[in-house]
């Protein structure tokens, strides 16, 4: 049986195969774009932003003197969205120099 519009079955199959190839290419391109895009939650904000901002404010107000005397170290925090993923943000917590600081 042939389609009512007179086209051959082979032509329809070939057309459908081309459509499937195009859709597969589009899906592959979308996946590559998603992998290249920064992996941040919707809205671009991380929950960690507020936490590190509070630590920074605490140190900026001069409340970290006792901690700095005891700790004498600089820490680096890599924040990921899931275990084993690449970091989406990094903070440095300096509890060694001056009155201390937090830098992204």
What pLDDT is stored for residue 33 in this prediction?
66
What pLDDT is stored for residue 41 in this prediction?
52
Long-range residue pairs from 69-75, CB within 8 A, at least 24 positions apart, any chain? 71/95, 71/96, 72/96
Q: Specify the DSSP class assigned to residue 79.
A: E
What pLDDT is stored for residue 44 in this prediction?
58
Q: Which residue positions in the chain have pLDDT lower than 70?
A: 1-7, 32-44
Say if residues 92 and 76 touch (Cβ distance below 8 Å): yes
Q: What is the pTM of this model?
A: 0.56
Report the top-level CATH class of 47-103: alpha beta
């Amino acid at each position: 049986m042939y389609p009512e519009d007179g086209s051959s079955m082979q032509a329809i199959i070939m057309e459908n195969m081309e459509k499937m190839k195009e859709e597969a290419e589009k899906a592959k391109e979308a996946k590559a774009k998603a992998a290249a895009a920064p992996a941040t939650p919707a809205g671009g904000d991380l929950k960690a932003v507020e936490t590190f901002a509070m630590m920074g404010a605490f140190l900026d107000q001069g409340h970290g003197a006792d901690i700095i005397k005891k700790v004498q170290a600089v820490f680096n925090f890599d924040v990921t969205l899931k275990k084993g993923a690449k970091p989406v943000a990094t903070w440095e917590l300096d509890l060694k120099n001056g009155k201390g600081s937090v830098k992204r």
